[in-house]
């Protein structure tokens, strides 16, 4: 026998050889389950009819979501970075005619709540100001048990079927080969996925709008995303969409500002929520519902079960039924905010589900996720998750069990325990699912009524002011410029052309590309024609509503302008006019706003009257991006600031970000060194200037200007924006 003289590999070489056995390449391969079974349809879960409920027997869906739910421990896979607070919900307009839910029956009735707000894509250590969807979830501790509202600050979602959720999150997360970028959608894998999923188009319009960079959690709306059911005492069903509307209005920052805040204070939203509650500026939202009778299920040009669609408020107005007030910060972030466990399947009698295929998958996924993240089937016994209603069942043992169950019986039926615990009749408050008729074939398909992917995207874009449209265009340019693969950028331009040709052309100009004559079809990338939701090409169904004010943050008419809880940076130095500073601080305080002294040094500034004022921040430790407006008072000492580059950057950024700038007396001289000096007396209504330090009207005029949030008309004059 011929001897093999090849040297044996060293340990490192052997390790590499062993690892090579586990490598795989999916190029030109069929998609399979983890058991090697080839998958025929990866876009639709198994349902009873194309609009029917998802079926438990769908082993492909369960395997895919189970694997996804257990991919990371112990941090949440999505919504990892969040902040929360305690409070209460109070009924203002009872609706017993629609629902028998006990906590919605009487005016003045209060229910304890805990709310958690979050970003979606980033890790726990990422910035609060990423361009992202924001989670908006509320746990109601009702007398009938836990009810979890598990929503977002955007009313639609990227996908229509839960089986695509792992794909969506894999695409938006940092790319797996280098774990870059963190908390950002501006990369190839996300836009590759989106450009092949036309159903995401409506959501992309929202994500590229300023809704994705809110000023604070306290100034963003919340939505249930899905259509749920309300069930009344007569067992009558009504479809319902759920809305949270902030008392302070819906406001955002601009993208350049968001990026700078991420560097200056990545905890900006978390800090804002904590400080607002700590100082008694309790955040408040009104709870509203859109009610649709069962008989009107097919009344509209969109499908109520489609999670990529809204019900325009012009078709079904939002009825306000109560309010939520957050009035207590957590005692321990981990024990409460981090360990709280939400689940859309936690409902009480009077609230029920629909056959929305995204919701159906979530009903499976959330319990599975909590088992992985919190490590035990007893996560409901953690104090923040405990029901205030009595809990009695035959579930026992498990990791970290806390309840000590008495007696020998842990099964049903039984006679040794007297048959206890009893089953509750419906009249005794027992939960009963709505008896919806389901009669259909088992299929992997999607209803043809889900195939309009562009109609409401058009509605959203058409509803924006020109300022908001410009922000969407710039956001798309920013994101797609970060995409390295030209084919993906071109494919997205084809998608955008179905929304608005002007939008597509404007984005294309920034990319130096040409809008394709027609969008590329998904079937060219592994999706067969019969699995495209009933049609080979997505449809555009014109909306019966041409534009909706409720979809615009600037034009939204539902909130009275206010500056409550806003922060104003007061630029100071030794010699500042003490009285004008005190006058403005008092005027702001009366409006529940706050003035902060910013100076080039810490400790105190000396005033023109020989007094002292405490400094809140220095120009080294803060930036104008952390404030809502800027005020430059009079005073001889301000001249020294004109040579300070940090001060000039502070003022120039405030102007660039369209913030209100107030200036009095000698403070005007300081502004003469800024990039916007020629705008002070030249028609910029966002600059409130008054040469007279003693002007009685100045504070009132400054506050009125601040109530408009930003002076957006300024953007048209900013060549570098």
Spatial separation of the C-alpha atoms in residues 311 and 309, rounded to whole Å = 7
Compute φ and ψ for 110, nearest 5 degrees.
-115, 140
Q: 677-684, long-range: CB within 8 Å, 24+ apart, which pairs?
A: 679/655, 679/717, 684/711, 684/714
Cross-strand pairs, 485:
none
Are 62 and 105 in contact, with CB atoms under 8 Å apart? no
Cross-strand pairs, 293:
238
Q: Please, is 235 exposed, middle or buried when counting C-beta atoms within 10 Å of its C-beta (0-12, 13-18, 19+)?
A: exposed
Spatial separation of the C-alpha atoms in residues 124 and 335, rounded to whole Å = 15
Are 136 and 287 in contact, with CB atoms under 8 Å apart? no
Spatial separation of the C-alpha atoms in residues 343 and 362, rounded to whole Å = 8
Are 246 and 284 in contact, with CB atoms under 8 Å apart? yes
Distance of CA 689 to the CA centre of its chain: 37
Are 463 and 547 in contact, with CB atoms under 8 Å apart? yes
The 10 Å Cβ neighbour count of residue 591 is 16
Distance of CA 387 to the CA centre of its chain: 26
Which residues, including other chains, have CB under 8 Å from residue 47's CB and lie 6 or more apart? 53, 54, 55, 355, 357, 440, 442, 443, 444, 445
Helix 188-195 and helix 165-172: axis angle, to 10°? 140
Are 286 and 322 in contact, with CB atoms under 8 Å apart? yes
From first CA to last CA, the distance across the chain in angstroms is 78
The CA-based angle 446-449-451, given to 5 degrees, is: 70
Are 630 and 624 in contact, with CB atoms under 8 Å apart? yes
Compute φ and ψ for 200, nearest 5 degrees.
-80, -5
- Count CA atoms within 13 Å of residue 382 on its CB side: 20
Spatial separation of the C-alpha atoms in residues 656 and 42, rounded to whole Å = 47
Of 416, 412, 419, 374, the closest CA to residue 396 belongs to: 412
The 10 Å Cβ neighbour count of residue 178 is 7
The 10 Å Cβ neighbour count of residue 118 is 26
Reported in sequence order, the residue ranges of 294-410 that DSSP labels E, i.e. its strands, are 319-328, 351-352
The CA-based angle 11-14-20, given to 5 degrees, is: 145
Enclosing H/E stretch for 663: strand 660-664
- Count CA atoms within 13 Å of residue 227 on its CB side: 24
The 10 Å Cβ neighbour count of residue 694 is 13
Residues serving a catalytic function are 79, 152
User: SS3 of 620, please?
Assistant: coil
Residue 136, CA distances (Å) to 358, 460, 605 in order: 17, 21, 42
Beta strand 222-223 with 594-599: parallel, antiparallel or unpaired?
A: unpaired
Q: And the tokens for 674? A: 């800024």
Q: Please, is 5 exposed, middle or buried when counting C-beta atoms within 10 Å of its C-beta (0-12, 13-18, 19+)?
A: exposed
Spatial separation of the C-alpha atoms in residues 697 and 449, rounded to whole Å = 58
Spatial separation of the C-alpha atoms in residues 492 and 515, rounded to whole Å = 9
């Amino acid at each position: 026998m011929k001897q093999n003289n090849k040297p044996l590999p060293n340990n490192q070489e052997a390790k590499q050889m062993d690892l090579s056995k586990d490598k795989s390449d999916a190029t030109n391969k069929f998609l399979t389950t983890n058991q090697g079974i080839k998958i025929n349809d990866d876009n639709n879960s198994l349902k009873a009819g194309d609009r029917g409920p998802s079926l438990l027997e769908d082993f492909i869906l369960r395997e895919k979501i189970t694997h996804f739910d257990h991919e990371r421990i112990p941090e949440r896979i999505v919504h990892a970075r969040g902040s929360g607070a305690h409070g209460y919900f109070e009924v203002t307009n009872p609706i017993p005619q629609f629902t028998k839910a006990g906590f919605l029956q009487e005016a003045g009735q209060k229910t304890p709540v805990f709310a958690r707000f979050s970003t979606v894509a980033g890790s726990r250590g990422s910035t609060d100001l990423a361009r992202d969807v924001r989670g908006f979830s509320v746990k109601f501790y009702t007398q009938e048990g836990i009810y979890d509202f598990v929503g977002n600050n955007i009313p639609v979602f990227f996908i229509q079927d839960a089986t695509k959720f792992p794909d969506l999150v894999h695409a938006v997360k940092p790319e797996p080969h280098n774990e870059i970028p963190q908390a950002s959608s501006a990369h190839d894998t996300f836009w590759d996925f989106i450009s092949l999923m036309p159903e995401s188009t409506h959501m992309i319009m929202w994500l590229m709008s300023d809704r994705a960079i809110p000023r604070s959690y306290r100034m963003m709306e919340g939505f249930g995303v899905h259509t749920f059911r309300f069930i009344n005492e007569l067992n009558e069903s009504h479809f319902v969409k759920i809305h949270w509307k902030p008392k302070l209005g819906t406001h955002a920052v601009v993208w350049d500002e968001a990026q700078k805040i991420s560097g200056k204070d990545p905890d900006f939203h978390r800090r804002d929520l904590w400080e607002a509650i700590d100082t008694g500026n309790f955040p408040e939202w009104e709870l509203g519902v859109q009610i649709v009778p069962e008989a009107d299920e097919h009344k509209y040009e969109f499908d109520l079960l489609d999670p990529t669609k809204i019900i325009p408020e012009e078709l079904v107005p939002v009825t306000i039924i109560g309010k939520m007030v957050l009035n207590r910060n957590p005692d321990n972030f981990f024990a409460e905010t981090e360990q709280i466990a939400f689940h859309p399947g936690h409902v009480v009698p009077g609230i029920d589900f629909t056959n929305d295929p995204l919701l159906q998958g979530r009903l499976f996924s959330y319990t599975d996720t909590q088992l992985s993240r919190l490590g035990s089937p007893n996560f409901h016994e953690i104090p923040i998750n405990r029901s205030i209603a009595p809990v009695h069942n035959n579930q026992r043992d498990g990791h970290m069990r806390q309840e000590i169950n008495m007696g020998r019986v842990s099964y049903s039926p039984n006679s040794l325990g007297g048959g206890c615990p009893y089953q509750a009749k419906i009249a005794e408050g027992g939960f009963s699912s709505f008896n919806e008729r389901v009669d259909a074939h088992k299929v992997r398909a999607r209803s043809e009524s889900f195939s309009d992917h562009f109609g409401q995207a058009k509605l959203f874009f058409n509803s924006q002011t020109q300022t908001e449209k410009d922000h969407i265009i710039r956001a798309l340019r920013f994101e797609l410029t970060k995409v390295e693969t030209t084919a993906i950028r071109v494919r997205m331009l084809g998608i955008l052309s179905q929304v608005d040709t002007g939008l597509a052309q404007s984005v294309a100009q920034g990319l130096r590309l040409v809008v394709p004559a027609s969008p590329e079809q998904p079937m060219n990338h592994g999706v067969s024609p019969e699995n495209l939701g009933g049609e080979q090409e997505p449809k555009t169904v014109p909306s019966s509503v041409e534009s909706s004010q409720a979809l615009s943050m600037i034009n939204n008419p539902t909130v009275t302008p206010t500056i409550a809880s806003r922060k104003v940076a007061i630029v100071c130095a030794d010699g500042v006019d003490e009285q004008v500073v005190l006058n403005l601080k008092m005027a702001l305080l009366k409006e529940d706003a706050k003035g902060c002294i910013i100076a080039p040094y810490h400790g105190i500034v000396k005033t023109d009257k020989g007094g002292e004022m405490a400094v809140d921040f220095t120009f080294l430790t803060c930036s104008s991006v952390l404030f809502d407006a800027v005020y430059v008072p009079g005073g001889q000492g301000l001249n020294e600031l004109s040579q300070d580059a940090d001060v000039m950057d502070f003022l120039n950024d405030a102007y660039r970000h369209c913030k209100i700038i107030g200036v009095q007396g000698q403070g005007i001289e300081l502004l003469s060194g800024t990039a916007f000096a020629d705008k002070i007396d030249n028609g910029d209504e966002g600059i409130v200037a008054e040469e007279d330090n003693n002007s009685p009207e100045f504070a009132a005029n400054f506050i009125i200007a601040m109530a408009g949030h930003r002076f957006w008309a300024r953007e048209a004059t900013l060549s570098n924006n």
